Amino acid sequence: MNTHKKQGFWHRFFFSLDHKDIGFQYMLTIFVMVAIGGFFAYVFRMHLAFPDMKVPLFGLVTNKDYNMLITNHGLIMMMWLALGMLLAVAGNFLIPIMIGTDDMAFPKLNKISYWFFLISVILMIASFFMPKGGLGGGWTLYPPLSTGDFGYNTPYKGFADRFFTANTFVLLAIVFEFTSLLMGGINFFVTTLNKRAKGMSLFKMPVVVWMINIASVLFMFSVGPLVAGTFMLLLDINVGTGFYDAYRGGDPLLWEHLFWFFGHPEVYVILLPPLGILAEIISNNSRKPLFGYKFIIKMTLLAGILSMMVWAHHQFVAGINPKAATVFSILTIIISLPFAGIILAYIATLWYGKIRFTLPMKWALGAITLFTLLGGFTGLHLGASVFDIYAHDTSFVVAHFHYTLFPTVIFGTYAAMYFWFNKFTGRHLNKTLGNIHFWLTFIFFNGFAFPLFLLGLAGQHRRIADYRQFEFLMQDPLPLYRHIATISAVILILTQFIFIFNFFWSLKKGKRVESNNPWDSNTLEWQTSSPPPHGNFETYPVVHHGPYEYNMPGKDKDFTPQNEA
Amino acid sequence: MNTTVSKKITWRDIPQARLAVWTLIAGEFAIFGGLIVMYILNRIKYESWGEMAQHTNVIAGTVNTFVLLTSSYFVVKAHEAAVYRNKAKIKMWIWLTILCALIFLGIKTYEYSHEIMHGFTLPGKHLLAEGKNVDTMYWGFYYTMTGLHGLHVVAGALALFFVMRGVTKTGENYHRIEAAGLYWHMVDIIWIFLFPLIYLIH
């Protein structure tokens, strides 16, 4: 089983079949995408706060540039960072080793999934360099905005004229990425159901494994219609069909329905894996069993089903039936209940725990605080159509989804990195740099996103390149808020370089782990060597305990490894 | 065998390949399901599509349905041969299945060329000139749905070919015949949905 040998660079990063190597490949690819997405955010935030300024490293931002920057920032962060990091990376690193098996059920399929992901990244980056420039139709790709220069009545001037455009490339990139994640999802699902260690029943699996699997299945069912829809949009652009062309009986609203039928479950696809990661970290660092394990799983399943029925709350002003809006409002508000239940279970886990304020715990608590207090709570407001119609497409919405996505995607990922880095590399991340990174990120994320709430309530619309044309948006203190938001955003982005440095420095020179289980954790990945060999375990573990049996009475230590007889 | 001991069936008793293909089929149904629902909604909205549907070649479609159903029978026979580890028979039945796939694609090509000759192309200039804007979308759906299905026929046939080659060469992995066969049945079933929706409802 242990066939560990030194691998060359090409072998490790292109042809490896090992789930940890493939996870690492995904992670490095996503780092590149995040760097691009973050750079775009920096440029357009600078432009919004200081119009007419030549943004360092970019130059003057024209209106067309601005459209392109916000569109691609959204696409990259949602599709490649969030989905990629939390399904592909988390799933690859965690699932096989946490359920106590040697690798994925289909290692070759896993490798092919990564290659599809790589193709999608290349297509996405190539789209910036098309003759007519990057895509500028908003990340939601609503037609006819996403058909770009090819409004439906533009004469057809040959295939190449339309194929070599950002529109086509972005849509192709999305199709490839979905295919990659679908193949990955099948792999996760089969691995989890079929390859669990002996004795590990479904309800002895760590919550994060449950969460990634539920997210994968949710992704599979919600993305199907959009895959068909993306092909239809590609045909509209390249061949000249009229699926979304009102002149020919098509309906632009159809795309909105397809997109949000995927897009709303997608935010739960993104949310569930971090919630699982938080469950691991909070239970481990409170030294207490996770409160309501089965309750959490049931609430998650309920939320998964409900999430397929709330999509139209993104379209309250798009011309849907007002009666339908009431139904979708009510369903949207109902869906907060299962998540409130999950968060309460986490808080109950903290209750009377022996809390250790380790770095991953700080990220986890930060994520819960921000996500619940500001992200989830403003979601309730926006879910009600009466308020949404007022706040729609303003910075309030931008602030809301940054407060939901940033704590889960970014904080959740960092929590996982600071928690599991030492397992997969055998070295610790530097603690001092980690603390600086956490506090700066926490403070300046709020500094960036909170003013957007105030700006949004004052009526500042998103997707407007220059606010000077609106007098009421230039009154005090609104420009000040914009300056605070922008400066905080820039510091926030710069702060992330601390992490990048810490990551690569610790990879080579970090402090070696003193034991295989530095967090005194129960789950199976901590019961093998750090870094785990190819094949993960010397002998297949046999599971006797649940994953969260901390501080059990009658034990001499406060944790009980799952494979302890 | 002791038949008195009843064993509870767990997930682990399902072979990996079968579970994976079932999951894949669920995903494919989400894709085609979305497409079919969109088609039906539009079909209800635009009555003139019934007239367009009369321009499809029902006889060719019927023959194709028959061909695909027959191929599903062949795949089942191949599975049976795989159960008995009979390489020669596996080869024969899979080749017959692939032959059916090729006949299907051939007839489909004939249909496409026929329709294109009659001016039912994708941008549909001919129809637009007559002011039948709405009807161009019928042909959009026609080509998208049958085209996507045709790609699945190609993929399924390729999968069957490579699985057969692997099995007959190595004499291992007989279960893969079943997995590829399951996928082939899915291709068949999707056609069973598409055929009445596109060809038969006037």
**What's the CATH fold of domain A21-527?**
Cytochrome C Oxidase; Chain A (1.20.210)
pLDDT tens digits, one per residue of B180-198: 999 999 999 999 999 999 9
From chain B, the residues in CB contact with A242 under 8 A are 133, 136-137, 140
pLDDT tens digits, one per residue of A349-383: 999 999 999 999 999 999 999 999 999 999 999 99
pLDDT tens digits, one per residue of A61-99: 999 899 999 999 999 999 999 999 999 999 999 999 999
Give the model's pLDDT for residue A6. Answer: 59
Give the model's pLDDT for residue B1. Answer: 44
On average, the pLDDT of chain B sits at 90
From chain B, the residues in CB contact with A227 under 8 A are 31, 34
Which residue spans within A385-461 are E strands per DSSP? none
Closest Cβ opposite residue B20 in set A190, A243, A249: A190
Give the other-Cβ count within 10 Å of A429's Cβ. Answer: 24
Give the model's pLDDT for residue A5. Answer: 53
Contact A186/B24, CB-based, under 8 Å? yes
Cis-peptide into A144, omega within 30 deg = yes
> Where do the domains of chain A lie?
21-527
Query: What is the average pLDDT across B2-7?
Result: 55
The residue among A405, A194, A208, A187 whose CA lies nearest residue A293 is A208
With residues binned 3-state (H G I as helix, E B as strand, rest as coil), the percentages for chain A, rounded to 5, are 70, 0, 30
A interface with B, Cβ–Cβ < 8 A, is: 105-106, 156, 182, 185-187, 189-190, 193-196, 202, 220-229, 231-232, 235, 239-243, 247-250, 254, 258
% of chain B at pLDDT higher than 90: 67
Contact B26/A at CB under 8 A: yes
Give the model's pLDDT for residue A2. Answer: 43
Asked if residue A61 lies in contact with residue A26, where contact means CB atoms within 8 angstroms, the answer is no
From chain A, the residues in CB contact with B26 under 8 A are 220-221
Give the other-Cβ count within 10 Å of A236's Cβ. Answer: 26
User: What backbone phi and psi angles, to 5 degrees, belong to A540?
Assistant: -60, 130
On average, the pLDDT of chain A sits at 91
Asked if residue A522 lies in contact with residue A559, where contact means CB atoms within 8 angstroms, the answer is yes
Q: What is the DSSP letter of A559?
A: B
Asked if residue A134 lies in contact with residue A127, where contact means CB atoms within 8 angstroms, the answer is yes
What tokens were used for A508?
Answer: 């080579």
pLDDT at residue A3 greater than cutoff 50: no
pLDDT at residue A280 greater than cutoff 90: yes
- Sorted by sequence, the CB contacts under 8 Å of residue B64 that are 6+ apart come out as B104, B107, B108, B191, B195
CA distance A248 to chain B (A): 5
Contact A225/B14, CB-based, under 8 Å? no
Contact B34/A at CB under 8 A: yes
**A–B interface: beta-carbon pairs under 8 A:** 110
Looking at per-residue confidence, does B22 or B134 come out higher?
Answer: B22
What tokens were used for A187?
Answer: 């792999």
Contact B134/A249, CB-based, under 8 Å? yes
User: What is the DSSP secondary-structure string of B121-140?
Assistant: -SS-HHHHHTT-HHHHHHHH
Give the model's pLDDT for residue B128. Answer: 81
pLDDT at residue A1 greater than cutoff 50: no
Contact B26/A221, CB-based, under 8 Å? yes
Q: Taking CA atoms, what residue in B is nearest to A202?
A: B11
Q: Please, which residues 82-141 of chain B have a Cβ atom closer than 8 Å to chain A?
A: 122-123, 128, 133-137, 140-141
CA distance B136 to chain A (A): 7
pLDDT classification of B121: cutoffs 50, 70, 90: confident
Between CA A30 and CA A273 the distance in angstroms is: 17
Taking only Cα atoms into account, the Rg of chain B, rounded to an integer number of angstroms, comes to 20
Q: Which residue has the tokens 């092909």?
A: A231
Closest Cβ opposite residue B11 in set A185, A194, A225: A194
pLDDT at residue A151 greater than cutoff 80: no
Give the model's pLDDT for residue A111. Answer: 94
* Ranges of H-type helices in A458-562: 478-509
pLDDT tens digits, one per residue of B9-52: 777 778 889 999 999 999 999 999 999 999 999 999 888 888 88
Between CA A158 and CA A201 the distance in angstroms is: 58
Asked if residue A148 lies in contact with residue A166, where contact means CB atoms within 8 angstroms, the answer is yes
Q: Which residue has the tokens 């294109």?
A: B116
Q: Which residue has the tokens 């938001």?
A: A485
Asked if residue A224 lies in contact with residue B31, where contact means CB atoms within 8 angstroms, the answer is yes
Give the model's pLDDT for residue B202. Answer: 77
Contact B27/A220, CB-based, under 8 Å? yes
What tokens were used for B178?
Answer: 């079943």
Between CA A211 and CA A446 the distance in angstroms is: 27
What tokens were used for A500?
Answer: 């990048």
From chain A, the residues in CB contact with B23 under 8 A are 185-186, 189-190, 220
Q: Taking CA atoms, what residue in B is nearest to A249?
A: B134
Contact B57/A at CB under 8 A: no
Q: Looking at this predicted complex, what is its ipTM? A: 0.91
Between CA A396 and CA A386 the distance in angstroms is: 15
Closest Cβ opposite residue B30 in set A195, A220, A242: A220
Closest Cβ opposite residue A249 in set B14, B46, B122: B46
| b/e A320-354 (16+ beta carbons within 10 angstroms → b) | beeeebeebbebbbebbebbebbbbbbebbbeebe
Give the model's pLDDT for residue B50. Answer: 86
CATH 1.20.120.80 for the B17-200 domain, yes or no: yes
pLDDT at residue B3 greater than cutoff 60: no
Provide the CA A34 distance to its chain's centre, in angstroms: 11
Closest Cβ opposite residue B136 in set A106, A202, A242: A242
CA dihedral B106, B111, B114, B115 (to 10 degrees): -140
From chain A, the residues in CB contact with B128 under 8 A are 248
Cα–Cα–Cα angle for B71, B142, B146, nearest 5°? 25
Cα–Cα–Cα angle for A27, A307, A300, nearest 5°? 70
pLDDT tens digits, one per residue of A445-489: 999 999 999 999 999 998 888 899 999 999 888 999 999 999 999
Cα–Cα–Cα angle for A130, A132, A134, nearest 5°? 60
% of chain B at pLDDT higher than 70: 97
From chain B, the residues in CB contact with A221 under 8 A are 26-27, 30
From chain B, the residues in CB contact with A185 under 8 A are 23, 27
Q: What is the pTM of this model?
A: 0.93
Contact A242/B33, CB-based, under 8 Å? no
Between CA A488 and CA A445 the distance in angstroms is: 7
Give the model's pLDDT for residue A342. Answer: 95
